[in-house]
């Protein structure tokens, strides 16, 4: 019978060594969103309810279209990271892996759809 200390039992079962990097990515994307969300609200809010021709002309200008593109990209990357953490913490086994794959596909698909919509308006 082997007598192991708590430290010896925990050796080799540590972190996956990606938590710090994930945390920094989440911090960077949240700081980016602190600036992007108000800009998006002000640029989108000023054209909200306008006729289609005015919206197309508005988003053909570089600043509103760049703000919208960056907000979609950074927002869905931040969403992916947050939901990934949630699934990894609370869902285990095959269901966790399946939800993780589905969530990653959903977030990148939504990001691509938003970017494509703004690009079609801008071009």
Nearest to residue 44, comparing CAs of 73, 72, 68? 68
The whole-number pLDDT of residue 4 equals: 76
Full 3-state SS string of the chain = CCCCCHHHHHCCCCCCCCHHHHHHHHHHHHHHHHHHHHHHHHHHHHHCCCCHHHHHHHHCCHHHHHHHHHHHHHHHHHHHHHHHHHHHHHCCHHHHHHHHHHHHHHHHHHHHHHHHHHHHHHC
CATH number of 23-122: 1.20.1300
Q: What is the pLDDT of residue 7?
A: 73
Q: What is the mean pLDDT of each run of 10 residues along the chain (123 residues)?
A: 72 68 94 97 94 95 96 97 94 95 97 96 91
């Amino acid at each position: 019978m082997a007598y192991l200390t708590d430290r010896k039992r925990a050796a080799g079962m540590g972190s996956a060594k990606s938590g710090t990097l994930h945390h920094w990515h989440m911090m960077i994307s949240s700081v980016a969103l602190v600036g992007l969300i108000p800009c998006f609200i002000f640029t989108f809010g000023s054209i909200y309810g306008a006729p289609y021709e005015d919206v197309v002309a508005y988003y053909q200008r570089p600043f509103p279209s760049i703000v919208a593109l960056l907000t979609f990209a950074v927002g869905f990357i931040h969403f992916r990271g947050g939901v990934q953490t949630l699934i990894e913490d609370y869902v285990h086994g095959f269901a966790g892996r399946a939800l993780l794959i589905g969530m990653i596909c959903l977030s990148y698909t939504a990001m691509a759809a938003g970017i494509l919509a703004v690009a079609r308006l801008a071009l």
